[in-house]
Amino acid sequence: MNYEFYLDFPPTVNNYYVKTNRGIYISQKGRKYRHLVAEGINGQMPGVHITEPMLLEVILYPPDLRKRDLDNYMKSLLDAITQAGLWEDDSLINQLFIYRGEKIAGSGKVFCKIGPAAPVLPKDYRL
């Protein structure tokens, strides 16, 4: 299993959720992003549904040169991909690599590459 696809740049986790007196909900921006991801995945990889452990590589191409913590974008990206039905659950990701790409003016982009999970060293392995 090897898959590659592009998506729109995700909102930061700070903009993905909204906190109210009634609880924490996905924001309007988050719902819009979920919709864009579902369209992108269904358009690029129709019918694919992953149920095996995987390795995921993500390259975030930001829309501008502001300072960004890459990890703040992963929650919204992975939740949107899960919601789109590409994989059973993001707990299937055994290895996750995040890279910062060059600026893509406008809305930015995300490149994702999925492959089979690599072997993991046993817990008693010594270097």
Burial of residue 33, with CB atoms counted within 10 A of its CB: 0-12 exposed, 13-18 middle, 19 or more buried: buried
Residue 55 CB neighbours (<10 A): 16
| Whether residue 5 has pLDDT greater than 70 | yes
Q: Residue with structure tokens 């390259």?
A: 59
Q: Is residue 126 part of a domain?
A: no
Q: Is residue 36 part of a domain?
A: yes
**Residue 22 is part of which domain span?**
3-116
Pick the closest to residue 109 from 117, 99, 119 (CA basis).
Answer: 99
pLDDT, position 123: 78
Q: What is the domain count for the chain?
A: 1
CATH number at residue 76: 3.30.1330.70
| Whether residue 125 has pLDDT greater than 80 | no
Give 86's pLDDT tier (boundaries 50, 70, 90).
very high
Q: Is residue 69 part of a domain?
A: yes
Q: Is residue 70 part of a domain?
A: yes
Q: Is residue 122 part of a domain?
A: no
Q: Is residue 79 part of a domain?
A: yes
Q: Is residue 86 part of a domain?
A: yes
pLDDT, position 87: 97
Q: Is residue 127 part of a domain?
A: no
